Structure 1
Amino acid sequence: MKQPIQVVDLFAGPGGLGEGFSSVRMADGDRVFKTLVSVEKEASAHRTLTLRAFFRLLLDSGKDLDPYFEYLQGGEHPRNREDVHDLWLEAEQEALRLELGGEAGNNALDERLQKGLDHQRDWVLIGGPPCQAYSVVGRVRNRGKKDYRPEEDKRHFLYREYLDVIAKHSPAVFVMENVKGILTSRVGKQRIFGQILEDLHDPIAATDRKAAAEATDPEERYTIFSLADSGVYYPRSSDDLFSDAPEPLSEEEYLSFVVKAEDYGIPQTRHRVILVGVRNDLVNRIKAPNLAQQLRMHRSDKKKQPTVKDAISELPDLRSGLSRGDSKEAWYSTIKRVAERVAHELRSQPSDHIEKSDLKRMDYLLRQVATHPYESLERRHEPKSQPRARVRGTDLEIWLKGAIPKDSWGLWFNHEARGHMEEDLARYLYCAVFAKIMKRSPIGTKDIHLDYLAPKHANWKSGKFADRFKVVLEEQPSKTITSHISKDGHYFIHYDPYQCRSLTVREAARLQTFPDDYYFEGNRTEQYVQVGNAVPPLLARSIAIKVLEVLEREKEENSHQPHSTVLEA
């Protein structure tokens, strides 16, 4: 029996990157990659990570999946069930709650890797160091803090914990993900991304694990590849494998490390920096230009690009909640009232930017909502197995179903609408109606011109809040799902005016391509944060397949063995 390739997942969050790697199977059904350890410090994300590790173990054991799905529907926790207790203990060994960057967390991880990692075989390191210090929003927030100094912000240097594992344990390949803002982030006057590339190229030298006078073995260094552009890698040529001072890349070439998720079958415009490092002994055998070609992911057909509607339309309709005095009757009455008020305001306040014909169409739809609101909607979906009404079959649809039993329907979890103030319901309703008619999201006061809808911000009309309220458009990929969705729903308004709400955790998860059997632990706010911070698992799967191709090719170069066959779903 062929042993799976070991994977170590650092800063794992709820496990999106690891899920993509774990999903790749050989033609005989065996998993190609097996997570040895995943590390996360946040409590609720760690619980999600552990539960998912248990689910995979249960799935591979051949046992019935009831212990998992019964727990999701309110049943006994797997840790308390004798029939699967051994699997739960194994899951706890896989998912570790550690804070890297401190002595205790670093030592615990190192001990686990020393005991469990087979250093005689190729293995893969994956993960994304925390991005708050690199994101544009985070940097703006930091500039507002008195006495803030980037060089004293340890979050800028958490990638060094990732680097430390590379230096100590020499993975054959690593995959590192971060926000696009890392390309322009500075510490002092220095761009930190150039330093990151240099450190990842020679991790042993960067972590001072050898005397300064002793040169690093060139084959222990790494070449860093782009997944989006086969012409860009660092260092540039094979000659640079043995160079102590490789030439820096240009700022334009930095952008070649940005992977645009919507180009690869993900229903979301998520742009992230993803670096793939390959150890130079492999690079020397395969050659850097060949590897660059092999690692480049093929873009999907834009005509077949999945949309928000493709991803979430089959989920049960829900009503929003009222932040005060919520009930089905109260919601119904509120929606009628705000719809009538917005329609009246629309008729009485002309717009300089919206055509009269479009205003009339918006008014008509608002009056339809006021006259015939959805009276039967629930605020929360109760998962319940029911016969399937139909079978859907696109690649995305099959992926999203996960391991939900084929003879069941209605097993959706984490699908509950949040509560909103009446004023925000009015704004959500208007914005969803606007998007339905105009096929775009409204832009600040230019499009949200009604006095009734103006937030109580002194500078609302200044133009600084152009993106304050945004609709997730049904016929396009979603905008980026971020952790900000945990704060409020203003940037993530559902496209259906009749539901008048923001996205649920499950809808956000589907746009992130988490399968329906993926359950998020914690309260709703914590669940939103986990989903927003994750790597889309379906994108991670595409990356994993590319990594596998590299490792298989390396074996072929060494032993002339044919490539193995990988299942595509």
Structure 2
Amino acid sequence: MTKPIHVVDLFAGPGGLGEGFSSIRRPDGSRQFQTLVSVEREPAAHRTLTLRAFYRLLHDSGMGMSAYYDYLQGGEHPSERADVQHLWEQASEEALCLELGSEDGNRSLEGRLREELTGCDNWVLIGGPPCQAYSVVGRVRNRGNKHYRPEEDKRHFLYREYLNVIAKFRPAVFVMENVRGMLTSRVGKDRIFGQILEDLRHPAKATGPEGPESSVPSSDGYTIFSLEDDRVYFPRTTGLFDSPDPLEEDEYNSFVIKAEEHGIPQARHRVILVGVRDDIVTRVGAPAMASSLQMPRTDDDRQLTVAQVLAELPPLRSGLSRHDSDEAWYAAIRRVATKVAEELQRHHSEHIKQDVRKRIAAELLEIAKGPHKGLNRRHEPKAEPRPVGPTTELEKWYHGAQSPNVNGLWYNHEARSHMEEDLARYLYCATFAKVVKHSPIGTKEIYLESLAPEHANWKSGKFADRFKVVLEGQPSKTITSHISKDGHYFIHYDPRQCRSLTVREAARLQTFPDDYYFEGNRTEQYVQVGNAVPPLLARRIAVKVMEVLDRAQEKEVEQAQAMQA
């Protein structure tokens, strides 16, 4: 049996990229890619990463999954069980809690990679350096700090830690993910993206150190490919030693993947760079490789919607920030629904037609008459018989390793608590979206005085668009780590539940399987989900990487046979 291809995952977060690569199996059931090392500095995300590594090892061991699911339902931690302790130790060796960029972190990682990758040419590096310095929101925040200097912000250069690993250990392929803002981020007057491409083309030249002894000259570099446009790759040459044609800045957008066009229920737009070592590119040919790396797109009418992936989750009620109980929550819903409905009928709006206001008011009064009964704050996972198991590929993906004869056990599915004032805003916004089919636009459509937050600049613009509904009939807006703050930007589409998204709902929109458990407190869980690469998108990228490596191997065999003939 052929050995799996080793994967090293840097800045791994909770492991979205690694999950996608690890999910691909050969016809004999073995894994095509095997994570050798994953690195994350945040303790909660590292615990999630380690637990998922254990999950995969347990799944492949043939011992059954009870040690994992027992823990998720309140049982012993795997590290405390004698029967699986050896697997937990292996998982702990795979998932490292290190801070890249620190002297200790870099030394520990380099020592481990030198030990594991000696003599290994065809391995894959994946990961996404932290993006706060590149993101548009982060840059706006930085402009408000008169002492901020981009050239002094170490986060701009964390990609160099990723680059160092490429330079020293020369993976066959690397996959680097980051926010779209990377394309326009500047240090001084220069766009940083062009320099990133140039550095990734010749990592050893950019970082200085020479890699370990290898049959491949260290002077050889990488070609950086787009997954969206086979005409865009860097360098674009007719031969390896020609001067490269420069990429135009308007071609940079070809490195952006729009997740909703690739079967992900979320409009998440991210830069994905795939670098292939030049000895492999030479074997296949750059144009042919660029063509083989193109990811198939989903037609607009086949794009997944929010409701398609959230509707089967158990409905929940939000909580009250003070004195929460079922009775108190239902009373609050009746109170705010009636109040907002009456105000809508009394107060004219130049932006909302009268008949629309009447329809929204009628929906609110209907909710006031009969709130959704029997809602819990938290879903308690409980195995129940399932008459028909998952049938579609997506259903199977979400179901994970759970028994097909058991209903989905949803973890991390617990609603937040909200102030009564926010319940009124969420109820109005979700009802508005249900009637009008779009989320209300700032102060134009959230115009009632009773719904205005106590922000001095609510009407001036800075906070005017802070309440948004995740619409049921469309792919979701981008799930970001900001969901950990207050949930205002991620209001559930069902007004009767009157709440923001749970961690599990956000995770589903990110395409994490339902048995992917997030460690840490709820805020830490939200951050992990928001920062992750959607695993199903990562799987589709991994398929293209696998095809490239397979094609390169075929070419190598053909060339060897031709030399012998």
Q: Same fold by TM-score, threshold 0.5 exceeded? A: yes
Deviates more, 1:350-359 or 1:273-282: 350-359
Q: Report if the CA contact (8 A) 2:13-2:46 is conserved.
A: yes
Q: Report if the CA contact (8 A) 2:442-2:464 is conserved.
A: yes
Q: Report if the CA contact (8 A) 2:266-2:478 is conserved.
A: yes
Which residue of structure 1 lines up, in the alignment, with residue 276 of structure 2?
A: 278
2:44 is the alignment partner of 1:44: yes
Which residue of structure 2 lines up, in the alignment, with residue 31 of structure 1?
A: 31
2:257 is the alignment partner of 1:242: no
Q: Which whole-Å CA distance do the structure 2 matches of 1:403 and 1:303 have between them?
A: 30
Which residue of structure 1 lines up, in the alignment, with residue 374 of structure 2?
A: 376
* Residue among 295, 315, 318 paired with 1:297: 295
2:60 is the alignment partner of 1:60: yes
| Residue type at the aligned position of 1:151 | E
How far does the alpha carbon of each residue in 1:46-89 deviate from its partner, in whole angstroms, 9 at most, with x for none? 00000000000000001111110000001000000000000000
2:22 is the alignment partner of 1:22: yes
Q: How does 1:222-261 map to 2 (within 5 A)?
A: 222-239=222-239, 241-243=240-242, 246-261=244-259
How far does the alpha carbon of each residue in 1:180-225 deviate from its partner, in whole angstroms, 9 at most, with x for none? 00001111111111100000000000011269xxxx9586200000
Which residue of structure 2 lines up, in the alignment, with residue 528 of structure 1?
A: 526
Question: Helix, strand or coil for the counterpart of 2:223?
Answer: strand
Which residue of structure 1 lines up, in the alignment, with residue 199 of structure 2?
A: 199
Post-superposition shift, 1:334? 0.5
Which residue of structure 2 lines up, in the alignment, with residue 353 of structure 1?
A: 351
| Residue type at the aligned position of 1:79 | S
2:91 is the alignment partner of 1:91: yes
Q: Which whole-Å CA distance do the structure 2 matches of 1:12 and 1:419 have between them?
A: 30
Can you give the 5+ residue segments of structure 1 that lack an aligned partner in the other structure? 562-569
Q: How does 1:257-336 map to 2 (within 5 A)?
A: 257-336=255-334
Q: Which whole-Å CA distance do the structure 1 matches of 2:330 and 2:547 have between them?
A: 55
Deviates more, 1:417-426 or 1:454-463: 454-463
Post-superposition shift, 1:329? 1.1
Which residue of structure 2 lines up, in the alignment, with residue 387 of structure 1?
A: 385
TM-score normalised by length of structure 2: 0.96
Deviates more, 1:266-275 or 1:344-353: 344-353
Q: Report if the CA contact (8 A) 1:218-1:280 is conserved.
A: no
Which residue of structure 1 lines up, in the alignment, with residue 421 of structure 2?
A: 423
* Residue among 439, 449, 452 paired with 1:451: 449
* Residue among 394, 402, 420 paired with 1:404: 402
Q: Which whole-Å CA distance do the structure 2 matches of 1:82 and 1:540 have between them?
A: 34
Post-superposition shift, 1:464? 3.6
Post-superposition shift, 1:389? 4.9
Q: Report if the CA contact (8 A) 1:510-1:516 is conserved.
A: yes
How far does the alpha carbon of each residue in 1:292-315 deviate from its partner, in whole angstroms, 9 at most, with x for none? 100010101221111001111100
Output the aligned Cα RMSD.
1.5
Which residue of structure 1 lines up, in the alignment, with residue 182 of structure 2?
A: 182
Deviates more, 1:315-324 or 1:451-460: 451-460
Post-superposition shift, 1:466? 4.0
2:110 is the alignment partner of 1:110: yes
How far does the alpha carbon of each residue in 1:518-543 deviate from its partner, in whole angstroms, 9 at most, with x for none? 00000000000000000000000000
Identity of aligned residues (%): 68
Question: Helix, strand or coil for the counterpart of 2:459?
Answer: helix
Q: Which whole-Å CA distance do the structure 1 matches of 2:483 and 2:119 have between them?
A: 41
Q: Which whole-Å CA distance do the structure 2 matches of 1:305 and 1:399 have between them?
A: 17
Q: Which whole-Å CA distance do the structure 2 matches of 1:521 and 1:475 have between them?
A: 31
How far does the alpha carbon of each residue in 1:414-433 deviate from its partner, in whole angstroms, 9 at most, with x for none? 00001111111100000000
Q: Which whole-Å CA distance do the structure 2 matches of 1:220 and 1:413 have between them?
A: 47
| Residue type at the aligned position of 1:143 | R
Q: Report if the CA contact (8 A) 2:55-2:68 is conserved.
A: yes
Q: Which whole-Å CA distance do the structure 1 matches of 2:546 and 2:118 have between them?
A: 18
Which residue of structure 2 lines up, in the alignment, with residue 125 of structure 1?
A: 125
Q: Report if the CA contact (8 A) 2:306-2:470 is conserved.
A: yes
Post-superposition shift, 1:96? 0.1
| Residue type at the aligned position of 1:141 | R
Q: Which whole-Å CA distance do the structure 1 matches of 2:403 and 2:56 have between them?
A: 15
| Residue type at the aligned position of 1:371 | K
Deviates more, 1:373-382 or 1:89-98: 373-382
Q: Report if the CA contact (8 A) 1:36-1:117 is conserved.
A: no
Q: Report if the CA contact (8 A) 2:317-2:497 is conserved.
A: yes
| Residue type at the aligned position of 2:339 | R
Q: Which whole-Å CA distance do the structure 1 matches of 2:53 and 2:247 have between them?
A: 39
Question: Helix, strand or coil for the counterpart of 2:394?
Answer: helix
Residues paired across the two proteins, number? 555
Q: Which whole-Å CA distance do the structure 2 matches of 1:73 and 1:484 have between them?
A: 28
Q: Report if the CA contact (8 A) 2:25-2:32 is conserved.
A: yes
Q: Which whole-Å CA distance do the structure 1 matches of 2:389 and 2:61 have between them?
A: 27
Q: Which whole-Å CA distance do the structure 2 matches of 1:469 and 1:118 have between them?
A: 53
Question: Helix, strand or coil for the counterpart of 1:492?
Answer: coil
Question: Helix, strand or coil for the counterpart of 1:220?
Answer: coil
| Residue type at the aligned position of 1:359 | R
Q: Which whole-Å CA distance do the structure 1 matches of 2:296 and 2:238 have between them?
A: 24
Deviates more, 1:550-559 or 1:352-361: 352-361
| Residue type at the aligned position of 2:123 | W
Q: Report if the CA contact (8 A) 1:119-1:169 is conserved.
A: no
2:75 is the alignment partner of 1:75: yes
Q: Which whole-Å CA distance do the structure 2 matches of 1:449 and 1:402 have between them?
A: 44
Which residue of structure 1 lines up, in the alignment, with residue 562 of structure 2?
A: none
Q: Report if the CA contact (8 A) 1:21-1:33 is conserved.
A: yes
Q: Which whole-Å CA distance do the structure 1 matches of 2:10 and 2:319 have between them?
A: 37
Q: Report if the CA contact (8 A) 1:312-1:510 is conserved.
A: yes
Q: Report if the CA contact (8 A) 1:219-1:279 is conserved.
A: no
Q: Report if the CA contact (8 A) 2:384-2:406 is conserved.
A: yes
Which residue of structure 2 lines up, in the alignment, with residue 472 of structure 1?
A: 470
Q: Which whole-Å CA distance do the structure 2 matches of 1:124 and 1:191 have between them?
A: 28
Which residue of structure 2 lines up, in the alignment, with residue 338 of structure 1?
A: 336
How far does the alpha carbon of each residue in 1:269-300 deviate from its partner, in whole angstroms, 9 at most, with x for none? 00000000000000001010001100010101
2:541 is the alignment partner of 1:543: yes
Q: Which whole-Å CA distance do the structure 2 matches of 1:361 and 1:262 have between them?
A: 31
Q: Report if the CA contact (8 A) 2:399-2:408 is conserved.
A: no
Can you give the 5+ residue segments of structure 2 that lack an aligned partner in the other structure? 560-565
Q: Which whole-Å CA distance do the structure 2 matches of 1:258 and 1:495 have between them?
A: 28
Question: Helix, strand or coil for the counterpart of 1:514?
Answer: coil
Question: Helix, strand or coil for the counterpart of 1:175?
Answer: strand
Q: Which whole-Å CA distance do the structure 2 matches of 1:310 and 1:194 have between them?
A: 39
Post-superposition shift, 1:391? 3.9
How far does the alpha carbon of each residue in 1:492-551 deviate from its partner, in whole angstroms, 9 at most, with x for none? 000000000000000000000000010000000000000000000000000000000000
Which residue of structure 2 lines up, in the alignment, with residue 565 of structure 1?
A: none
Q: Report if the CA contact (8 A) 1:7-1:124 is conserved.
A: yes
Q: Which whole-Å CA distance do the structure 2 matches of 1:156 and 1:119 have between them?
A: 32
Structure 1 residues 64 and 218: alpha-carbon distance in aligned structure 2, compared to 1, 3 A threshold:
closer
Post-superposition shift, 1:143? 1.5
Which residue of structure 2 lines up, in the alignment, with residue 519 of structure 1?
A: 517
Structure 1 residues 219 and 263: alpha-carbon distance in aligned structure 2, compared to 1, 3 A threshold:
farther
Which residue of structure 1 lines up, in the alignment, with residue 100 of structure 2?
A: 100
Which residue of structure 2 lines up, in the alignment, with residue 564 of structure 1?
A: none
TM-score normalised by length of structure 1: 0.96
| Residue type at the aligned position of 1:542 | R
Post-superposition shift, 1:316? 0.2
Q: Which whole-Å CA distance do the structure 2 matches of 1:153 and 1:57 have between them?
A: 39
Question: Helix, strand or coil for the counterpart of 1:181?
Answer: helix
Q: Report if the CA contact (8 A) 2:389-2:405 is conserved.
A: no
Q: Report if the CA contact (8 A) 2:387-2:405 is conserved.
A: no
